[in-house]
Chains A and B, each alone.
Chain A
Amino acid sequence: MMDETSDITQWDEIAWNGIAFQKPSCWEIATIGLNYLMLGTQTDPRMEINWGKPSKAASHHHRLKQLKAAKRYLGHRKQCLSADAWNPPQSWLDALPTHEVGGFSWKNPPGNALIVSCSSCNRTSLFQFYQSSSEDHAHFHTIVSKLLSTFRDHSGNNLQRWAVFDIRATLPAAFQIKSYQFSPGFMEMVFFTNGLKISLYRWSPASVLLAGRKLSEFAGLLPFYPEPSLMEAGSTSETIGDVNRMEWVRVPSFSLLNRLAAFLSVGFSHQRFLIRHIAETNRILAVRSESRQSVDSNLFDQVVADYETSAA
C-alpha cells in the first residue's frame, strides 16, 4: 500500500476543546479524548497531542508541574523512560514564535516529545510526532513545521471553534463540552454553560435514513421529540420550514403550578430544536437547546448558522 503521507497538498483543520491546527487530510483522528488526540494514516500513527487547561498565572512552579505531569504520562505509556533534554529542529521552533518550546527524548524505543507553553494563555501542550520508516526526513520536518505554524491554543475572540471528523461548529467560548459520541452514522456533542445546554447532532447517510420518509417523520422518531399531549396543550410549537428543515420550540405554559414546578425543577423547561437535511453532503444536522429561561434567539440562530459539515 502506498504511503499516503507522500501527498501533503490537502490539509484541513482540527479544533477540539481549546486547541486548533491544520493537518494533512490523510491524518485522521484515531483516538479522541477530552484533552488528547491521536492522528494517524490508514496504516500508521503520525502524532499525539495532550494539552492542559490555560492558567492565569504563568509561574515557574506551574510550568514545572505541567512538565512533570507530561513526563509522568509518557513514563506510564513508555516503559523504561529516561528522559533527556532534546533540542527540537530549528524549523519547529521557528514555527512557534509566541510559545516557549522545549523537548526531551528517550531510548528503547527511541522517541522524542515537544513541550509547548503559550506565553499568552499559559496552556501547555505535549506533542509527539512519528516518522514513518519510508518517509524522507526533510519531508517529515516540512509537515511538522507547517502543522506547528498553524497551532492555536487560545481563541483571539470570544468564540471557540470545533472541527473534528466532518463536523464544523463555532460556539461562544463560555460553552464547555460535557459529553460527546462519535459513532458510524451518528455523532453528538453536548455543551454546557450557566443554565444553558446546547447539543449538536449529525446523522449520515441521509439518503438511507430518509428513504421513503420525510424529515419530519425522521424527527418524530427521535427520543426527545415532544409528546403529542404537549403539542395539544399548546406548550410546544412546531414549524416545518420546507422539506429539508423543521423546528420546534417548547415553552412551559404560564400556569402557576407550572411556574412553581419550573422553579423547583433542576431540569430545563425551555427547549428549542432545529433539524436540517443537507442534501449536498448527504447529512442530517440538528441543534437542540435546553435552558431554564428562554434561549437567546440570536445565539441559537448563530450556532445553527455556524454548524455545518465539510464535504466527505
Chain B
Amino acid sequence: MKPAQLSRTDALGCIPIRNSMVVESRMDSGEMLLSYTETLKPWFAGILRLMKKESEIRRTRKLQLDILGAGVWDLVDGKSTVMEIIDSFAGIHQLYHKEAEVSVIQFLRELGRRGIVGMKQAM
C-alpha cells in the first residue's frame, strides 16, 4: 500500500535525522566531507551478486559540502524540524526566507536521496 502523502505543513514539520553510519570530516576551509555507504536498489544488488561482485554492493561514497551545506548539516541535530532549520539558516546568513526555504529543502532532498538523512514525522 502506498504511504499517505504528506501535506506541506506536515513535511515542513518533519525532523531530519542523520544516518549514524555517515562519517564527517571538517576541513580547514569550513567545508565538510561526508563519507557514506551507497544504498543500491535491491534488483541492482541482486545483479551484482549474480556477477559475483559482492564487494561492490556496499560502496563507500564521499560528498563534499560547501560552507553553506556544512552549515545546514550542523543544524540537522535530530531535534529541529525542517522549518526550524530553514528559519535558523535564514537567520544566520540574513537570507530572504523563501530563498533559504528553497535551498534547504533542495539540499535535504539530495541528502535523503543518497541515504545520508532520513525524515521522522514530528509527534
Contact = CB atoms under 8 A, between A and B. Distances in A.
B95 A43 contact: no
B9 A165 contact: no
A43 B98 contact: no
Interface residues of A, number: 18
A43 B93 contact: no
A312 interface: yes
Nearest to A312: B94
Q: Which of A166, A281, A311 gathers most chain B CB within 10 Å?
A: A166
Chief secondary structure at chain A's binding surface:
loop
B27 to A, nearest CB: 13
Interface in A250-281: 281
A42 B99 contact: no
Contact of B97 (A185, A207, A312): A312
B90 interface: yes
A138 to B, nearest CB: 24
Nearest to A3: B9
B83 interface: yes
A233 interface: no
Given A42-B83, A211-B67, A282 B94 contact: yes
Nearest to A309: B96
B98 A1 contact: no
- Chain B, interface residues (CB within 8 Å), range: 20 to 34
Contact of A185 (B83, B98, B99): B99
A43 B94 contact: no
B72 to A, nearest CB: 12
B5 to A, nearest CB: 15
A281 B94 contact: yes
A135 B84 CA distance: 24
Contacts of B106: 184
B98 A28 contact: yes
Given A28-B98, A165-B96, A1 B12 contact: yes
A184 B13 CA distance: 22
Contacts of B8: 42-43
13 contacts: A1-B12, A1-B83, A29-B98, A43-B8, A165-B98, A165-B99, A166-B96, A184-B102, A184-B106, A204-B93, A208-B68, A208-B93, A281-B94
8 closest residue pairs by CB, A with B = A205-B93, A282-B94, A184-B103, A166-B96, A43-B9, A312-B94, A184-B99, A184-B102
